[in-house]
Amino acid sequence: MKSKESKVWRIRDAVHNIIEFDGLDPLESRLWEVIQTPFFQRLRRIKQLGFSEFVYPGATHTRFAHSLGVFHTARRLVAVIRKFEDRSGERYEDQHAAPALAAALLHDVGHGMFSHAFEAVGKEFGWAMAKHENVSQALIREGEIADILNDYYMGFADNVAEILKDNKDKQIPPNIFHAVISSQFDADRLDYMQRDRLMTGVRSSYVDMEWLLANLEVGNVPIGQDGEPLGAAQTLVLGSKAQHTAESYIFSLFHLYPNVYLHKTTRGFEMLFQALMRRLVFLVGADKIGDTGLIGQNPLIAFIKEPDKQEHVLGLDDNVLWSSLPFLIQAKDKYVKKCALALAKRQPLRAIDIRLKVETALEPKKQGNDTEKGGQLVDRICENIVKKIKVEQGGSSEHYILCDSYNRVVYKKAVDEKNAHLNQILIRRNNSIRDLRDVSPAIHYAENYKICRAYVFRGDGEQKYTEKVENIIAEEVKNA
């Protein structure tokens, strides 16, 4: 709500309580204008966790709320840098801080419907506009959002977009403010960890945000390339008192994957959505739009016909699918109808935990031999099982066995010498700055979380396809 007297806009947020935008601040007043654009308002219609509300009824929060939270968190991280500036006598120019704050607000503006589930389909079909980073870049560099940003100063929009590029594609060298946007301890993670935990009701992923921020400081770390030193870079560093809290932060984030993001039912509905999209793409390509139950003007059909047009991807949001379901249920195509009914009635697919079955079957063999460790053997068998399932189903767009594999690393080891400081959580210990992985045995030796599952439709054919998966598992284990 806007206060005419103070020119401050205040938003009540479930995580951060009050998020303010100062109308007298040249940057924040323009960012408030950005929020009012239809492109940013569209994020209200895209849920942060896609299909997770089918498991956690409270998980209905949106990319809109998350984006506001990331901006608020980024502002707090920038305040830490400013505090260091006051103590050290160094000066950081607003030309670096301002783009980082704007980038925090706009980092998700290009997300498509159901976010990462939609991107997975886009990757399969090579849709550049299904990748949210591409759409975000386009929206920030040209059009209404760009005009508002460039009113702050000419070229500001390009500077904001540049920060959101992958490190390897950046045309300007990263500075300390890049760590606010893209690092192991950035504003994005700090917000969604708290928000997703709160809205799902998961209690095990608490992060002590206040203690981490209270112990956050700025440090200088050496950087290099191809073994040659390049000097030093400034980045965010945690004090020694925060080491155990940092460990808790890493594991809290990690535990959100088995508990929320990779929940078997949630992933099953994501697979179902992707299967539906895959079939719609086939039918549109075969000039059988009439079999889909949708008309040619439906945003789904419009996008599939011309996926490279930005206006078509921006015409998609979660509501488009839900409002299309009554028509998809009436489709002449039986597969489309089957997928649509399962989504409309919340009928989960049957999940078969391939990895668990392989591990159990290998236990009598001690999960390995002289030349191959147990975990690697399980990985290889799971990979062969998935390949065989896909080969047996051929190139058909009607898959009745859907496969899902994922490998979540607890803490990635930094390999890029030049930007390693952006991919590490750094701890100050005994007047030196160390990677958390090197000072914490718990982090160093933590094992990855891996899934390999098959999903089959309930009802007719359920037993047939379940037995097929079971037989393939048994055969591959036997031949291992």
Is residue 110 domain-shared with residue 39, that is, in the same domain?
yes
Q: Tell me, yes or no, whether 145 lies in a domain.
A: yes
The reply to whether 186 and 281 lie within a common domain is: no
Does any domain span residue 100?
A: yes
pTM: 0.92
Fill in the amino acid letter for 436.
L
Tokens of 461: 């054919």
Same structural domain for residues 45 and 183?
Answer: yes
**DSSP single-letter state for residue 169:** G
Residue 56 belongs to a domain: yes
Provide the domain limits for residue 343: 263-348
- Whether residue 146 sits in one domain with residue 269: no
pLDDT of residue 257: 96
Query: What pLDDT score was predicted for residue 371?
Result: 45
Using one digit for the tens of pLDDT, what is the confidence trace for 186-234?
Answer: 999 999 999 999 999 998 889 899 999 999 998 888 876 766 767 778 8
For residue 419, tell me if it sits in a domain.
no
E strand map for 89-244: 216-225, 228-238
Distance (Å, whole) CA 441 – CA 343: 44
| Pairwise CA distance, residues 126 & 104, whole Å | 27
User: Is residue 275 located within the same domain as residue 133?
Assistant: no
CA dist., res. 399 & res. 394, Å (int) = 9
* pLDDT of the residue at 183: 86
Are the C-beta atoms of 101 and 152 separated by less than 8 Å? Answer: no
Predicted pLDDT at 231: 76
Shared-domain flag, residues 129 and 270: no
Which of 324, 348, 372 is the C-terminal boundary of a domain? 348
**361 alpha-carbon distance from chain centroid:** 33
d(CA 346, CA 67): 29
Instruction: Tell me if 62 is assigned to some domain.
Output: yes
Q: How many domains does the chain have?
A: 2
Tell me whether residue 14 is in a domain. Answer: yes
SS3 of residue 218 by DSSP: strand
- 144 and 275 together in one domain: no
Determine the pLDDT at residue 368: 47
The CA–CA distances, whole Å, from 411 to 168, 184, 424, 443 equal 20, 9, 9, 7
Closest-CA residue to 178 (of 436, 435, 421):
421
Angle between helices 354-362 and 374-393 (to 10 degrees): 130
Query: Do 63 and 133 fall into the same domain?
Result: yes
Q: What is the pLDDT of residue 140?
A: 98
Q: Are 173 and 315 contained in the same domain?
A: no
Q: Do 189 and 314 fall within a single domain?
A: no
Q: Do 23 and 167 belong together in one domain? A: yes
Low-confidence ranges of the chain (pLDDT < 70): 1-6, 86-94, 167-173, 224, 226-227, 229, 364-374, 415-418, 420
φ, ψ dihedrals at 350, nearest 5°: -80, 125
CATH code, 18? 1.10.3210.10
425 lies in a domain? no
Domain-ending residue, one of 182, 201, 220: 201
297 shares a domain with 181: no
Residue 438 lies in a domain: no
Q: Please tell me the predicted confidence (pLDDT) of residue 84.
A: 81
The residue among 321, 348, 375 that closes a domain is 348
